[in-house]
């Protein structure tokens, strides 16, 4: 299990630089102290489960940015008419990652897409990556991460996939539970039907949300 001591001086510098970028992005919305707190908390949540420590600075910046965008929406600091969807499963390594990939592919930037897990894995399922690549969707740069309070609160639609009672429930949101086979431990042939079933469900979601497919 990696710790802060495993980060090199260069990686620590990258994390500091990331915080500065986020301070610029959220200037006038959040102060440096809030940015720093979310960067540190995101690092604490991602580092212990990271398989490749060299990628941690990139993942921490992306995770913190998503969380800050969600917080800004929840607190009314940023006004957006763009709907947001959260996909939740246990490990955030297979089903929720494929669903996120499909929704981004079909709806583009007309919807904010988040994903998370109740027990995040260390990496995205290689068979899920390969299955999505077959249909022209690249999820190689995605990473498992936990669900967080501010992202759930910011989501308009929450799709759960097998995380049971561990999935959070907040009033005033649209919830759906998609019963899907878990691709963990399956080869490409076993993941393809799950990938295709997820596509059908996401296409229906896009239609119901009145997001014309790209």
Residues catalogued as catalytic = 89, 163, 167
Distance separating alpha carbons of residues 6 and 195, to the nearest angstrom: 36
Residue 47: half-sphere exposure toward Cβ, Cα within 13 Å? 16
Are 28 and 71 within 8 A, CB to CB? no
Distance separating alpha carbons of residues 115 and 95, to the nearest angstrom: 10
In angstroms, what CA-CA distances link 111 with 25, 78, 155? 20, 15, 10
In angstroms, what CA-CA distances link 134 with 59, 131, 137? 25, 5, 7
Distance separating alpha carbons of residues 49 and 17, to the nearest angstrom: 23
In angstroms, what CA-CA distances link 153 with 150, 174, 175? 5, 12, 12
Helix 126-134 vs helix 95-107: crossing angle, to nearest 10: 30
Other Cβ atoms less than 10 A from the Cβ of 113: the count is 20
Residue 176 CA from chain centroid, whole number: 17
């Amino acid at each position: 299990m990696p710790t802060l001591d495993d980060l090199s001086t260069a990686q620590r510098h990258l994390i500091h630089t990331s915080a500065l970028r986020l301070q610029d992005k959220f200037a006038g919305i959040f102060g440096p102290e809030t940015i720093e707190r979310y960067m540190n908390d995101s690092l604490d949540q991602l580092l212990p489960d990271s398989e490749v420590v060299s990628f941690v600075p990139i993942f921490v910046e992306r995770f913190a940015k998503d969380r800050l965008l969600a917080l800004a929406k929840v607190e009314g600091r940023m006004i957006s008419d763009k709907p947001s969807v959260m996909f939740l499963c246990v490990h955030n390594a297979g089903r929720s990652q494929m669903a996120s990939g499909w929704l981004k592919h079909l709806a583009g930037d007309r919807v904010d897409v988040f994903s998370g897990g109740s027990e995040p894995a260390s990496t995205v399922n290689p068979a899920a990556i390969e299955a999505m690549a077959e249909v022209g969707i690249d999820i190689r740069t995605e990473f498992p991460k936990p669900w967080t309070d501010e992202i759930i609160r910011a989501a308009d639609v929450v799709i759960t996939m097998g995380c049971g009672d561990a999935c959070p429930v907040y009033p005033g949101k649209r919830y759906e539970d998609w019963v899907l086979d878990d691709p963990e431990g399956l080869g490409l042939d076993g993941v393809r039907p799950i990938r295709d079933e997820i596509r059908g469900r996401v296409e229906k979601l896009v239609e119901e949300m009145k997001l014309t497919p790209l």
